[in-house]
Structure 1
Amino acid sequence: MKTTCFVPLIALAAAAPAYAESADDLSFESRADIIVTASRAVSEPREIGSAISVITRETLDRNQITFVKDALIDTPGVLVSTDRPGNYASVNIRGSNNDEVLWLVDGIPLGDPSAASTEFRADHLIAADIAQIEVLRGNQSSLYGSDAIGGVINIITQRAIEEGIAVNAEAEAGSHGTLNGGASLLGKSGPVDFRLTATGYRHDGPSLTDPRTATRPASEKDAYRRYGFSGRMGVEASPNLRFQMNGFWADTFSDLDNTGSDSLNTVRKREYAVSGQGLYASSDDRLTVRLTGSRYVARRLYFGSAYRPEGDLYRGTKDTLALDARYDTGGLISLAAGGALEREKSDQATFHSGDFNARISTRSAYGELALRPAAGLTLTGAARIDDNSRFGTFDTYRGTVAYAAGPVKFRASYGTGAKAPGLYQLFDPTYGNPHLKAEKSRGGDIGADIALSDTFSASASYFFLRKTNEIEWNASIGRSGGYRQWGRTRAHGVELGLTARPLAWLTVSQSFTYTDHEAYSDAAARYRDSGRPEYAGTTAITVLPAAGAEFTARVRYRDGDASTRLATRAYAVVDLLGSYRINGNVELFGRVTNLFDKWYQMYAHTNTLGRSAYGGVRVSF
């Protein structure tokens, strides 16, 4: 039995609310905010039966977030494997794996077909150009296809909505030789709007392998750098028709280490995504049709003594063409339907594993129906069929119910999911297994949300997830190991969180997740504790001591992780953050992370940064 190292300060808490706060909104019925991800047929918070958290631009700035994964640490139901910049980040939702979470940026599906299981790795994804992050939890394959067993993380970037030109810029420096900065140029003139963002980040170390638990001396500083660009442009061709282009590009360099010792290996990764969209909306806004074409490319090149002299190459390409339509009668019924064609390609040239080129395609169609049979009550049902060029067809479905009465909304959902094996798992010359099939899952939740103006908001969920046919790595296959398909896991737990503003100058927030995760053991012929962290949470207190000034004390805590043969211990880390707005155009900010220089590891043998201090300035004009 595991013991809890930190008791949450707030006992009654809940998942982050799925809406923006407004002093004039006293109930779910009165809210007109839009949630993009949770449903194709409905988008108002009072009608959404799924558990979803929304991270706003204001929250990103208050928490001084540079990398997206750091914002997710404070999100209920989400477990992140690292808080170190540039380090490999595994993002799990409700007991899922990293490859079972679908990432979208402005509608572009992200996923690297050259990775082991077509997963997106969020190591280098930054927050500088983001307007909003929506985290949708639970099986979503009926709407979003493969990779959405755990949920969907949808990122919406900033867009110019006011006439004229605006510039936003930020610069920061701090411990470990950290330099971080970026600038955005936004503009709008009549029917045309645009944004262009440039960013850069670097630090000098310390060692990626923790010298305190290393099996051999680990003193080398492991540097990391990143720079990139992103942008979007939109044109209102007519009152009913809009076109836009979105995209980003990033170039990164990371030092690598062995599990318990230094290594001279390095990796350079270049990735880009681009999409073109056309959106038609009828004059009465009842009918909307969206056509999207996108491409995501990730190219990784590994250097070191174990790789080819020119580097081991992995290059993955994901192309998607999607059509989505929605018709809302404004009354009893809303309908949504669509389809997509997705093609994945992997090119690999390596020293040990060999070379291969492979591709696979998937055609899909879905439909969703929303019913409003009574005041405050919304029912949705969705179904999807995917036709994979290798596995044939598989279907998924999902249903939700939401009932909003004044400041309270009750909700529940249930659905199934599927995850296709990756091209590497199938076709790698050394480790691949061409007989793998799609993984299956089912899961659901039940919960409630409360919204009392801008003074109190809360949400709570009980959830469960079952997975079968899981693909796993097994070292006993052949001479070098390989992939097999037999795994079964199950998870259930509670997501809790709270935001309370009892005084105009005081805000208290709390998130907490408890997850019981078990894996089936053939040897024992029963399910056994997998050793994953059972709890994680964040407690924060923010005060406004004077005009323009804001200070936050934050505690992040997590259970130990014994899911591998190398275990970590439970920990709690205290951070202090502050900012001061000099005027409407200039803001100073700074933070001290790990204030008491606590030794901890989020992943076994991986070094965290210790007590660190950073300071910077934001300007806008």
Structure 2
Amino acid sequence: MTKLKYASLFIALAPTFSALAEEGGEQIVVTANRVETPVSKVGLSVSIITADDIARFQTPGITELLRSVPGLTATRSGGLGTLSSVFVRGASSDHTVALIDGVKINDPSSTAGGFDFGRLMTGNIERVEVVRGPQSVLWGSQAIGGVVNIITRQAKGGKPSAALQGEVGARDTVNLIANAALQTGPLSISGGASWLRSDGISAFSEARGGKEKDGTKEYGANLNLGVAFTDALELDLRGWLSHSRTELDGYASTFPYGFTDAPNYNRTREAIGYAGLNWNGLDGRWRNRIGYAVTKVLRDDYDPTATPVRQGDSMGRNERIEAQSGFDIARGWSIIAGAEREWSRFTQSNDFGFGASTNKGRATLTSFYGQLTATPLAGLTVNAGARHDDHNNFGGHTTFAANAAYTPNAGDTVIRASYGEGFKVPSLYQLRSQYGNLALQPESAKSWDVAVVQKGLDGRAHIGITWFRRKTHNLINFVNCIAPNNPSALCDYPGGFSAFSFDGYYENIGKTVSEGIEAELKLRPVDGLALAMNYSHVKPQDKATGLDLLRRPRDKAYASLDYNWSFGMSTGASISLVGDSADIDDNGKRVQNDGHATVDIRASYPIGHHAELYARIENLFDTRYETVFNYGQPGRAATAGIRLKL
């Protein structure tokens, strides 16, 4: 790790490319304040991945795309389509709120209620906004690490548009994408569909004996419909669905029961729906929205060698009614307030041949929030807000947040500071499964960060550095009653269990501290050349033991260089360096996932005004590494494709 750490520190002084605003313009972010806000007026740490970035990087999956974001690391249990977790500033993966077009998509049937980013592809995505740090005042439960908002392609003014994309690559991978959009009169409609298949790699690391390939097939579709009844009243309808079948490796169902090339596979169906009305009054000064959102996830697990073959199934469903109102009090002063009511439920059945078991449960959460935005003096924007949530199990919880951004020179220099609180309600599994504990309290966090951003060279240079610290309390951990240090299998069970737990239970026992720095440098020294960098040093530790949290490396650097040639070709290269991380092996012993470096190269060439050929090589030097113990990652892979725009 020593060489890698020094290399990361060196690259922190060199430039790469990420989302750079157009020269002379300024990026707008929605996720930070739930309203459109110029980045220079946001006191939070925000990263934006634009449609141009998505096209240039050419990555098929969201997980690979998010590697370019400072302070964010990801793990994946095998190849494309397998379970992928995102860690923001060292927070747990279930401490990240995932949104599609502003609708929460976290899975209420998963063990901790988090979202699996592994099945989410980039084909129908126009933009990704990442807000780092606790954001529970505006986004509620789970927003301890941050928020990832995935925004699909939208209809824009002008003539109809359509796009087709197809690519083929290593491991018999095929990826097909189609999009279309139309805006005419009061009607705006946009939608897309994608289909992907790949033979994949062995999820069980080849370095540990894995040989059998674990493939994936999935398709997805989305549709957005808007109807403007008047200039002030609009209907907003959105839908998104995804179906996947992914092969997995795991523990054998027969002796010797070790981790192996298992024939297991998983089927997952996900659907999101949203219906809302938007109304504006007082010449646009008063903005109102009322909406209903539903998220449903169905998962089935199979083992063809076992009896029964279908080992388990689960269903998670969230329904949410929300109302939000924003009012411009005076120039530079505004307020936003909202109320939400959420109903969640899950059902989970398992049958490993020893008799079937079923877990089920439901919960309700009622929330009220408000935030004031003020400009007390020129160049200074301040936001302050509070939220109160009431859960039918643990009762009430209140969070606060405040942030400020100051620029003395119209955005060339920006000084940011923020204080934020976050919380996460116990998942339905943690409350209502056979290991559940109805006495659980919400996990909570308090965090602050400060940042300085400087632009120069007429907007061609951008440098920034952020320092942050977060404390998290009441972490929910599993207490193992048959661990080696407790051979009698006796536990002091607390009251409030939904069912008797024969080998363990969930309890609030954890406290963690995460602190570090994030540095970014973006340059456009000449027209056509874009360079930038980001480097993160994050130290996430368990306060009780002083040990680093699992699967969260301290050091990460991402670098990229892109150049547009005078004859139309675009070329680029990226390097990702990730430091060592701790993990546990099959026996519960702490082990180390070694740091790694991967290099990707890419090129594209336009053919006329409506077509573009492109190609890439991922993991150019065929680096072999693991981000999760036992699970391998893809080696070198070449891909070629074509994009058509109509």
Give the TM-score normalised by structure 1. Answer: 0.93
Q: Compared with structure 1, are the counterparts of its residues 571 and 462 closer, same or farther at alpha carbon in structure 2 (3 Å cutoff)?
A: same
Q: Aligned partners of 1:581, 1:245: CA distance in 2, in Å?
A: 35
What secondary structure sits across from 2:138 in the alignment? helix
* Aligned equivalent of 2:605: 580
Deviations 1:434-457 (A, max 9, x none): 221111111111002234455122
Residue equivalent to 1:188: 183
TM-aligned CA distance change 1:203 to 1:408, over 3 Å:
same
Q: Name which of 637, 642, 646 aligns with 1:612.
A: 637
Distance 1:597 1:16, change over 3 A: closer
Which one is further off, 464-473 or 55-64?
464-473
Indicate whether 1:459 and 2:484 are aligned: no
Please give the alpha-carbon distance, in whole angstroms, between the structure 1 residues aligned to 2:469 and 2:620. 36
Greater alpha carbon shift after TM alignment, 185-194 vs 6-15:
6-15
CA deviations over 1:50-78 (Å, ceiling 9, x no partner): 00001100000000021112111110011
Q: Does 1:544 align with 2:564?
A: yes
Q: Does 1:73 align with 2:67?
A: yes
Could you say what secondary structure the match of 1:194 adopts? strand
Q: Please give the alpha-carbon distance, in whole angstroms, between the structure 1 residues aligned to 2:53 and 2:311.
A: 40
State the alpha-carbon separation in 2 of the partners of residues 307 and 94 from structure 1.
Answer: 42
Identity of aligned residues (%): 28
User: What is the aligned partner in structure 2 of residue 449 from structure 1?
Assistant: 453
CA contact (8 A) 1:286 1:330 kept: no
The alpha-carbon deviation at position 309 of structure 1 amounts to: 4.0
Secondary structure (helix, strand or coil) at the match of 1:73 reads helix
Which amino acid is the alignment partner of residue 253 of structure 1? Answer: R
Aligned partners of 1:357, 1:335: CA distance in 2, in Å? Answer: 40
**Cα distance, 1:391–1:562 mapped onto 2, change above 3 Å:** same
Q: Is the 8 A contact 1:515 1:535 kept in 2?
A: yes
Paired with 2:24 and 2:622, the residues of 1 have a C-alpha distance of 43
Q: Which amino acid aligns with 2:277?
A: G
What corresponds to 2:24 in structure 1?
A: 24
Equivalent residue for 1:256? 248
1:24 Cα deviation from its structure 2 partner: 2.6
Distance 2:90 2:114 in 1: 16
The equivalent position to 2:407 in structure 1, one of 395, 404, 420, is: 404
The aligned residue for residue 546 of structure 2 is: 527
For the 8 Å contact 2:379–2:406, the answer to whether it is kept is: yes
Structure 1 residue 545 displacement after superposition: 2.8
Q: Which residue of 1 aligns with 2:512?
A: 489
Identify the residue that residue 28 of structure 1 maps to in structure 2.
none
Which residue identity is paired with 1:373? P
In structure 2, what is the equivalent of residue 55 of structure 1?
A: 49
Query: Secondary structure of 1:81's partner?
Result: strand
Q: Is the 8 A contact 1:220 1:262 kept in 2?
A: yes
Match of 2:164 among 160, 163, 169: 169
SS at match of 1:143: helix
2:444 is matched by which residue type in structure 1? K
Match of 2:443 in 1: 439
Q: Distance in 2 between matches of 1:442 and 1:289?
A: 30
After TM superposition, the structure 1 = structure 2 runs for residues 7-156 of structure 1, keeping only pairs within 5 Å, are 7-12=8-13, 21-25=21-25, 31=26, 33-40=27-34, 43-82=37-76, 84-156=79-151
Distance 1:68 1:283 in 2: 40
Cα 1:124/1:308, change in 2 over 3 Å: same
| Partner of residue 299, structure 1 | 298
Given candidates 389, 393, 398, the residue that maps to 1:390 is 393
CA distance in 2: counterparts of 1:197 and 1:24, whole angstroms: 32
* Alignment deviations for residues 490-531 of structure 1 (CA, whole Å, 9 cap, x no partner): 11001111210112232212111110111023xxxx533336
Number of the residue aligned with 1:231: 223
Alpha-carbon separation, structure 1, partners of 2:548 and 2:158: 57
Structure 2 counterpart of 1:550, one-letter code: S
* Contact 1:14/1:458 (<8 A) preserved: no
Equivalent position amino acid for 1:592 in 2: I
Q: Aligned-pair RMSD on alpha carbons?
A: 2.1
Contact map agreement 2:16 2:559 (CA 8 A) in 1:
no
1:437 is paired with a residue whose SS is coil
What is the aligned partner in structure 2 of residue 327 from structure 1?
Answer: 327
> Is the 2:167–2:641 Cα contact (8 Å) retained in structure 1?
yes
CA distance, structure 2, for counterparts of residue 218 and residue 21 of structure 1: 44
SS in 2 for 1:315: strand
Q: Deviations over 1:537-594 (max 9, x none)?
A: 2111112233321111211110011143342111111111111112221011111111
User: 2:133, 2:144 within 8 Å by CA — same for their partners in 1?
Assistant: yes
Range with greater deviation from structure 2 (530-539 or 319-328) = 530-539
- Asked whether the equivalents of residues 9 and 539 of structure 1 are also in contact (C-alpha less than 8 Å), the reply is no
Count of residues paired in the alignment: 606
Q: Deviations over 1:37-56 (max 9, x none)?
A: 11147722222100000110
Mark the CA change 1:42 to 1:270 in structure 2 (over 3 Å): closer, same or farther.
closer
2:256 matched to which residue of 1?
none
CA contact (8 A) 1:203 1:225 kept: yes
Deviation at 1:166, TM superposition (A): 1.8
For residues 571 and 10 of structure 2, what CA distance do their matches in structure 1 show? 18
User: Which residue identity lines up with residue 390 of structure 2 in the other structure?
Assistant: D
1: CA distance, partners of 2:121 / 2:632: 21
- How far 1:106 moved relative to its partner? 1.2
The answer as to 2:275 corresponding to 1:276 is yes
Distance 2:505 2:217 in 1: 33
145-154 vs 7-16, which moves further: 7-16
TM superposition shift of 1:165 = 2.6
Question: Is residue 358 from structure 1 mapped to residue 351 from structure 2 by the alignment?
Answer: no
Deviates more, 1:183-192 or 1:33-42: 33-42
CA shift, 1:95, in A, is 1.2
1:606 shift after superposition: 1.3
Gaps of 5+ in 1: 26-30
* 1:265 shift after superposition: 1.3
- Secondary structure of residue in 2 paired with 1:71: helix
1:557 is aligned to 577
Conserved? CA contact 2:289–2:324, under 8 Å:
yes
For residues 16 and 418 of structure 1, the distance between their equivalents in structure 2, rounded to whole angstroms, comes to: 33
Report the CA distance between 1:283 and its aligned residue.
5.3
Aligned to 1:21, the other structure's residue is in SS state: coil
Give secondary structure in 2 for the equivalent of 1:412.
strand
**Is structure 2 residue 526 aligned with structure 1 residue 503?**
yes
Distance 1:570 1:77 in 2: 16
Asked if structure 2 preserves the Cα contact closer than 8 Å seen for 1:41 and 1:369, the reply is no
**Counterparts of 1:424-435 in structure 2 under 5 Å?**
424-429=429-434, 431-435=435-439
Contact (CA 8 Å) 1:13, 1:511: kept in 2 or not? no
Match of 1:319, SS state, is: strand
> Displacement, 1:248?
0.8
Structure 1 residues 14 and 543, CA gap change in structure 2 (3 angstroms): closer
| More moved, 273-282 vs 154-163 | 154-163
Deviations 1:326-353 (A, max 9, x none): 1123424211111100110101121257
Supply the AA of the counterpart residue of 1:252. S
Q: Which residue of 2 aligns with 1:240?
A: 232
| Cα shift at 1:10 | 4.6
Contact 2:16 2:522 survives alignment (8 Å): no
